[in-house]
Amino acid sequence: MAEARKAAEILASSLNVTATVYGTDADGEFVHGVCEVSEGAAVASDPLIKRLYAESAAASLTLKDQLLTEIPEDTIKGFATMSAALGYIVAQHKQIKRSATPQIGYSALFRIFCGGKDPSTLSLPADDATIAILTRKLGDLPGWMWLSDLPGFGSADRNAVIPGRRANKITLTIDGELQVIRPRSVFRGTVPETGAQFMLVVQMADRHVYGQSPLDSVGLIYREQDEAAVVSLVRQLLRESNPFKGRVVLINRDLRTVRSRMSDRSWNDVIPHEHARRELDFIAASIRNRDMLKTEGLSIRRGLLLSGPPGDGKSTAIECFVNDVAGEATILVVEAVEHIRAIYHLAQALAPAVVILEDLDLMTKSRQNPYALAGTNKDDVTGELLQVLSGGSAYDDIVTIATTNHPEAIDEALAKRAGRFDAHIRMGYPSDADKQRILDLYLDRFDVNDELTRRRLQQTLTRDLGRLHLVPAHIEEFVKAGIKRARLARRPPEYLDFEPGIEATKSIATQKPATS
């Protein structure tokens, strides 16, 4: 070791470069010497980590690296010849340092921290939020050691830790509490019953998003005889760390919001579209009785598409349905997504689950429409959604409910092919009778008891607004606008309070076509 270090210092001082010398001692043991230690080892404080980096660097040497320690004798025949050879070696060494990424093999990791050779490896799939919460816990659990000096994340394909890889912070809002978690990466664990040691490495997917990759699994490195105990222990810890099971999860690209319920709204608070209510009640009953259905080879329904103009009650109906089944299934409300398959992988792990795709036309585009907005991401989402909803590959115990204001903009293979969405309900505009019921519902809710005011509002809804296509949201908005005016004036609501809202509704609602 001392001779290797001195050789490295002589090379470094002679050539004015960082030099590393590798070799073996008289007993065949690995030795190395450096003038300036590598970046990973430089930040490490644990001698075992330094040794690990040295071993990984030696294992990743290329043929050109070996020139540093195996200079042919024929090249040392004169100063000029040797200078030329060393100049070539220096140039190659700089190029290798720039291009090569040191990797720490799982076998080396296990050998140094657990002892033994030729360990077994296994990957357990998990979502990044569960992994982040798990790794925050592990450092404080008995029998676990976080290797804080070992940065980077694992690769299941390479069976190695790659120090240069970085994961995004995980941002969660759980029942109103914001959590920002930086995942940790490498741990040594111990099975409580047997004392068997193993390694747990957080692994990143190989696909890249803006230079970084999402966490998608944990890698386990263990002795073969300990496999059952190690896998059982880690699976239990993953279940305990999962923040989503049986909850309502609002998903967009950067944030997951987790709630026990979406809101306090129930079917009693709305006048629902009758057909949509029947279909959603049927899905809820299928979820509650899925075990009974499975005994006869039946499964819960695969999908429901709700379409209609904005404000017709699609989102409200889904909100009431979600609150109805909350706690009996995991609900994933997808607001924005780039990899739809990852959503369904998560739903499968949390089944029974309901995946809700709001404004499906904005997530996907019709491949038949040559004027559809260009964008490979939308094509990717459409293709992935076609695959996950296909009959042969559809995920078990997962219901998909989608909404759209523009069904004509959805790919026909999604909207019309049987087996992808079992039902397509066009909700549309409420009848005159339903509009009166919706008006009465909101007037009752805000205690509008003056009979003259109620009667004039009912007449306005029939006469002045009767020539317009109204949706429930129109009625709700002009009633709320009038209530606000009355509350701010500190008096009971009067008809005059509602007139500005009614005029605003006339300006935005669509005129009904003239009848001949």
- Tell which residue, 482, 490, 415, 493, has the closest CA to residue 450: 493
Q: What is the mean pLDDT of residues 294-323?
A: 86
**Cis before 47? omega within 30:** no
CB within 8 Å of 115: residues ≥ 6 apart: 197
What's residue 210's pLDDT?
41
Q: What is the mean pLDDT of residues 67-89?
A: 55
What's residue 434's pLDDT?
92
CA 199 to chain centre: 25
More confident residue, 283 or 61: 283
Q: What is the DSSP secondary-structure string of 287-327?
A: HHTHHHHHHTT-----EEEEE-STTSSHHHHHHHHHHHHBT
Between the alpha carbon of residue 26 and those of residues 1, 6, 56, 373, the distances in Å are 11, 17, 21, 69
- pLDDT classification of 420: cutoffs 50, 70, 90: low
- How far apart (Å, rounded) are the C-alpha atoms in residues 426 and 308? 6
> What is the third-level CATH fold of 432-511?
Helicase, Ruva Protein; domain 3 (1.10.8)
- How far apart (Å, rounded) are the C-alpha atoms in residues 322 and 282? 13
Q: Which residue ranges does the chain devote to CATH 3.40.50.300?
A: 258-426
CB within 8 Å of 241: residues ≥ 6 apart: 130, 131, 133, 134, 137
| pLDDT, tens digit, 9 for 90 and up, residues 191-221 | 999 999 999 999 988 654 444 457 889 999 9
**Sheet of 256-259, strands arranged across:** 177-181, 170-174, 256-259, 248-251, 330-334, 353-357, 398-404, 303-307, 423-426
| 258-426: CATH number | 3.40.50.300
As to burial, measured by CB atoms within 10 angstroms (0-12 exposed, 13-18 middle, 19+ buried), residue 417 is middle
- How far apart (Å, rounded) are the C-alpha atoms in residues 442 and 58? 74
- pLDDT classification of 183: cutoffs 50, 70, 90: very high
State whether residue 216 is helix, strand or coil.
Answer: strand
CB within 8 Å of 438: residues ≥ 6 apart: 271, 430, 472, 475, 476
Q: What is the pTM of this model?
A: 0.67
Q: Average pLDDT over the chain, rounded to whole?
A: 81
Q: Which residue ranges does the chain devote to CATH 1.10.8?
A: 432-511
Q: What is the DSSP secondary-structure string of 449-474?
A: --HHHHHHHHHHHHTTTTTEE--HHH
CB within 8 Å of 20: residues ≥ 6 apart: 8, 32, 33, 34, 35, 38, 57, 68
More confident residue, 303 or 238: 238
The rounded percent of the chain whose pLDDT value lies above 90 is: 37
What's residue 458's pLDDT?
94
- How far apart (Å, rounded) are the C-alpha atoms in residues 149 and 239? 28
What's residue 33's pLDDT?
75
Q: What is the mean pLDDT of residues 32-42?
A: 60
- pLDDT classification of 345: cutoffs 50, 70, 90: confident
Q: What is the mean pLDDT of residues 407-412?
A: 72
With tokens 């606008």, the residue in question is 481
* Lowest mean pLDDT, pick from 21-25, 96-100, 345-349, 473-477: 96-100
More confident residue, 244 or 213: 244
Q: What is the dihedral of CA 219, 223, 226, 228, to 10 degrees?
A: 40
DSSP code, position 152: S
In this structure, what token pair is assigned to residue 408? 């004509």
- pLDDT classification of 106: cutoffs 50, 70, 90: very high
Q: How do beta strands 398-404 and 303-307 pair?
A: parallel
In this structure, what token pair is assigned to residue 383? 């293709």
B/e letters for 210-221, b = 16+ CB within 10 Å, e = fewer, are: eeebbbbbbbbb
DSSP code, position 477: H
Between the alpha carbon of residue 275 and those of residues 272, 280, 407, 412, 437, the distances in Å are 9, 9, 18, 23, 17
As to burial, measured by CB atoms within 10 angstroms (0-12 exposed, 13-18 middle, 19+ buried), residue 15 is middle
- How far apart (Å, rounded) are the C-alpha atoms in residues 433 and 452? 20
As a three-state string, the secondary structure of 416-441 is: CCCCCCCEEEECCCCCHHHHHHHHHH
What's residue 346's pLDDT?
82
What's residue 68's pLDDT?
47
What's residue 81's pLDDT?
53
- pLDDT classification of 262: cutoffs 50, 70, 90: confident
What's residue 192's pLDDT?
93
What's residue 2's pLDDT?
81
| pLDDT, tens digit, 9 for 90 and up, residues 130-180 | 999 999 999 889 999 999 888 889 999 889 998 878 778 888 888 888 888
- pLDDT classification of 84: cutoffs 50, 70, 90: low
- How far apart (Å, rounded) are the C-alpha atoms in residues 123 and 217? 6
Element (H, E) at 155: strand 153-155
